[in-house]
Structure 1
Amino acid sequence: MRNLLINQILEDGYAVLDDFLTPEEVTELLEAGQNLHKDAPKEERKVFSTVNATSTQSKDRYFLESGDKVRYFFEEGAIGENGELQVDPSVALNKVGHALHIDHPTFSAITCSNRVKEVCWQLGFQKPAVAQSMYIFKNPGVGGEVKSHQDATYLYTEPTSTIGFWIPLEDATLQNGCLHFIKGSHRSGVHRRYIRNPDESSDELLIYDRPAPLYPQSNFTAVPVSAGSLVLIHSQAVHRSDANRSDRSRHAYTFHVIETENCEYAKDNWLQPPEDRPFPVLYERD
């Protein structure tokens, strides 16, 4: 498996492992995710968007300080002008993050499983740590587009080490918003970064260091996958997903692993662990 995984990621920037989770594990994660909305705060509903450049997360400490917490982010189309829900609460959320792997036992069990450790081992990680985790809803009708991006924009390490683990809990299809990749784009470097604003007087807590590149849509390859598969994503691979305009949801659980041995996690990354709660390490090679 080691050579196959490494070769595919080096060639395309991503790799797919079918049947990574058992049907029972998929059901358990899906049921846990479907219940997350019950704990979402009612007094202050935060919208998350990767498309709207003026979205509130760049100015909001609720997002900035979510690295070691479980916090709730709604779809733009689910919230009215006065913060009222426009849809049923069960389909209103965009995502929940970014510490499910720490604070929710169901997601922690999968994230820290021997299977995940084995993949990290095969990929050559010496001392892997989990930087963040997210439950992504992509609910029918309101599940928004995720713009073309690289994960290294948000979780930058030197040298490059970040690998995304993306696990669909329902079949991801062309109709409900499967991932699309530009094959080989991981060899083109980091195109821009999303960082903490060095200007402490600005109300923009987070900024991009340069404009967004333009990626021709014809360059993307759709990657539909079945529930329980694992998609491994190189941090520099350009990928996106379309809005879900179908009548079927596309729930997914995703987390990101970084190397911590002879590798530096950038101090200006938007997500920073508290000093007393560092990123949890999966294992350390002897």
Structure 2
Amino acid sequence: MSVLSPEQLQRWRQDGYLIITDFYTSEDTQEMLNEARRLLKEFKLEGHPLTTFKTEVDGGHVGDDYFLGSNDKIRYFLETSSLSPATQTSPAKLLVSPERSINKIGHALAPLNPVFRRHTLECAKISQLAIDLGEHDDPRVLQSMIICKQPRIGGPVPTHNDSTFLYTDPPSAVGAWVALEECTTQNGCLSFLPGSHKTARISTRFVRAPEGGTTFEPVPGVEPNEEKWDEMDGWVEAPVRPGTLVLIHGSVMHRSPPNPSDSSRLIYTFHMIEGKAKYDERNWLQPTREMPFPSLLRG
């Protein structure tokens, strides 16, 4: 039985994103939220390399071995503002509790965590959703993670599209973003530029740098976008309630502001790519022989 109506599919193709309220039941959403909170409480700082998750707003991207080796693990990445600056005489120190310091937990939650596996890879409704969308012949799941937006320190996510970071040839990324808590205009809900997926070109890709770390490189034969997306009219905020699933086309422009409020904004997200598309060794996130990107339709 189809999950998406013809009207929803039309909206998806027109806007490049689709909000599906109550996709998950309140019980399933609460189970995922409880598991996310358990993972946060279990975080121990001892032995952690203090890897923070950075964006262009912070002046660069994370690229250490802890980050690049997270393809087949569940790892914790800190919020930049949760740490004091390191000096020659003093190492960086947490400014908040370890539980409150986390920006995200990933990137192999769906394969490795039983709760998130059940609500992703073993979820018939998700498999049917992928079939209804019709974007992939062989949808593969990758980069599954919890994103926290911690109260008062959760940082902004600048304007971007997902196929830049999960590049395939041809581009095929689709994000599935699940609200585990209320996502409001006060605590950092998503915003979209509807229809931008029709004109945005994937002209750069996020890759492993030859000298180590990560960088962006041009996609051969694709002219860079000249649009100043942030300055364009038509941005739409997307506050959603728990249990909502937001589908995000790999080319649509989206962003989220910082969280200055006292309320956290925990979400779970995973991405799908076309298993038949080219996904090469330059991409920052790499499958392994022991853990290839799992297929939603092949068990």
Select which of 232, 244, 264 maps to 2:259: 244
Amino acid across the alignment from 1:102: P
What is the Cα deviation at residue 6 of structure 1?
2.8
What is the Cα deviation at residue 99 of structure 1?
0.2
Counterpart mapping for 1:22-37 below 5 A: 22-37=25-40
1:84 correspondence with 2:93? yes
Amino acid across the alignment from 1:165: A
1:126 correspondence with 2:137? yes
Select which of 267, 276, 283 maps to 2:290: 276
Amino acid across the alignment from 1:31: N
1:64 correspondence with 2:68? yes
1:110 correspondence with 2:119? yes
**Could you tell me whether the CA contact under 8 Å between 1:5 and 1:123 is conserved in 2?**
no
Select which of 198, 203, 206 maps to 2:214: 206
The alignment's TM-score, normalised by the length of structure 1, stands at 0.91
Distance 2:78 2:125 in 1: 31
The alignment's TM-score, normalised by the length of structure 2, stands at 0.87
Amino acid across the alignment from 1:155: L
| DSSP-derived class of the 1:147 partner | strand
Amino acid across the alignment from 2:53: F
1:54 correspondence with 2:57? no
Select which of 275, 278, 293 maps to 1:264: 278
% of aligned pairs identical?
38
What is the Cα deviation at residue 27 of structure 1?
1.1
What is the Cα deviation at residue 191 of structure 1?
4.1
Amino acid across the alignment from 1:268: R
Give 5+ residue unaligned stretches, structure 2: 86-90, 219-223
Choose 19-28 or 214-223, whichever is displaced more. 214-223
Amino acid across the alignment from 1:144: G
Match of 1:195 in 2: 207
Distance 1:14 1:284 in 2: 26
| DSSP-derived class of the 1:143 partner | coil
What is the Cα deviation at residue 159 of structure 1?
2.3
* Runs of 4+ that moved beyond 3 A: 210-214
RMSD (Å), alpha carbons: 1.9
**Could you tell me whether the CA contact under 8 Å between 1:45 and 1:74 is conserved in 2?**
yes
Amino acid across the alignment from 2:149: K
Give 5+ residue unaligned stretches, structure 1: none
Question: In the TM superposition, what whole-angstrom CA distance separates every residue of 1:151-195 from its partner, at most 9, and x where no partner exists?
Answer: 001111222321100001111110000001111111122142111
Choose 155-164 or 104-113, whichever is displaced more. 155-164
**Could you tell me whether the CA contact under 8 Å between 1:2 and 1:123 is conserved in 2?**
no
Amino acid across the alignment from 2:278: E
Distance 2:44 2:161 in 1: 28
1:146 correspondence with 2:128? no
Distance 2:205 2:45 in 1: 30
Between the two proteins, the alignment pairs up a number of residues equal to 278
| DSSP-derived class of the 1:10 partner | helix
Distance 1:152 1:135 in 2: 19
Question: In the TM superposition, what whole-angstrom CA distance separates every residue of 1:85-115 from its partner, at most 9, and x where no partner exists?
Answer: 1112221100001000011101111012011
Do the aligned partners of residues 163 and 40 (structure 1) sit closer, same or farther apart at CA in structure 2, a change above 3 Å counting? farther
What is the Cα deviation at residue 122 of structure 1?
0.3
Amino acid across the alignment from 1:118: Q
What is the Cα deviation at residue 141 of structure 1?
0.4
Match of 1:19 in 2: 22
Do the aligned partners of residues 17 and 120 (structure 1) sit closer, same or farther apart at CA in structure 2, a change above 3 Å counting? same
Select which of 208, 216, 229 maps to 1:215: 229
Distance 1:248 1:162 in 2: 30
